[in-house]
């Protein structure tokens, strides 16, 4: 996917008070970056324009959220929604990091996170790039290092091949599959309380079934 460069994006992120800079220095003390440090921390990796995590932060003030996005030009769009949409005004339970997900163990300490959301991640369709997929065994090993004992990973996609690959990787990583569905919006259990992303709205509107899994380590 070719990303459009957003002039001034890096400067915008640097100046924004909710974007964490020099993120590795907060390893082991992320709770202290929030007003309510007693709350659990959930992260979304690859947050796109931010609708999903902003909605969660608004609906769940008792949970602290961190949105992670690799590309500054994408993250800046999410921040514009936060800054300009009245419904997200005064959120205090959300932070953002512009970083590559492969650095997660260098940014978060053992057991520091309670949940990881992966939504419509890049499928990296070529076999030689399988290790780059956010649901590969290599990434589950990274998640293992930062999740709390009972922490979970939730993954949604419309890409059936990626979803089947992900199911295999859960097993290969030695994790437990708590739930799965190949048709989220028609699943009476997993669809309850579902918050849609921008991609989810687009693809489901085109008639694509949405797949979801929830996994935790043994």
The annotation status of 90 as a binding-site residue, yes or no, is no
- Does residue 85 have an active-site annotation? no
User: In terms of C-beta density within 10 A (0-12 exposed, 13-18 middle, 19 or more buried), how is residue 152 classed?
Assistant: buried
Closest by CA to 52, choosing from 123, 101, 151, 119, is 119
Among residues 10, 85, 114, 122, the one annotated as catalytic is: 122
The annotation status of 122 as a binding-site residue, yes or no, is yes
The annotation status of 69 as a binding-site residue, yes or no, is yes
The annotation status of 23 as a binding-site residue, yes or no, is no
H/E stretch holding 55 reads helix 51-59
The annotation status of 199 as a binding-site residue, yes or no, is yes
The annotation status of 55 as a binding-site residue, yes or no, is no
Closest by CA to 67, choosing from 91, 89, 86, is 91
The annotation status of 200 as a binding-site residue, yes or no, is yes
The annotation status of 201 as a binding-site residue, yes or no, is no
Token duo for residue 5: 């460069």
**DSSP strands (E only) in the chain:** 41-45, 64-69, 94-98, 113-119, 147-157, 175-181, 211-217
Q: Binding site membership for substrate: which residues?
A: 126, 158, 197-200
The set of catalytic residues is 122
Binding-site residues for S-adenosyl-L-methionine: 44, 69, 100, 122
């Amino acid at each position: 996917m070719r990303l459009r460069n957003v002039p001034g994006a890096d400067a915008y992120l640097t100046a924004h008070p909710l974007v964490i800079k020099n993120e590795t220095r907060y390893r082991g003390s992320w709770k202290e970056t929030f007003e309510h440090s007693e709350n659990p921390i959930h992260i979304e990796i690859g947050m796109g324009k931010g609708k999903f995590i902003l909605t969660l932060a608004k609906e769940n003030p008792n949970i602290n959220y961190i949105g992670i996005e690799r590309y500054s030009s994408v993250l800046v769009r999410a921040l514009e929604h936060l800054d300009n949409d009245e419904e997200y005004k005064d959120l205090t339970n959300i932070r953002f990091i512009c970083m590559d997900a492969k650095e997660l163990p260098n940014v978060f300490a053992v057991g520091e996170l309670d949940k990881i959301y992966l939504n419509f991640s890049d499928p990296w369709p070529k076999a030689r790039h399988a290790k780059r997929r956010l649901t590969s065994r290599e990434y589950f090993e990274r998640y293992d290092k930062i999740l709390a004992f009972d922490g979970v990973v939730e993954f949604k996609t419309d890409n059936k091949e990626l979803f089947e690959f992900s199911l295999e990787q859960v097993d290969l990583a030695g994790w437990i599959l708590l739930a799965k569905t190949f048709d989220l919006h028609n699943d009476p259990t997993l669809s309850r309380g579902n918050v849609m992303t921008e991609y989810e709205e687009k693809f489901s509107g085109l008639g694509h079934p949405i797949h979801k899994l929830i996994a935790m380590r043994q």
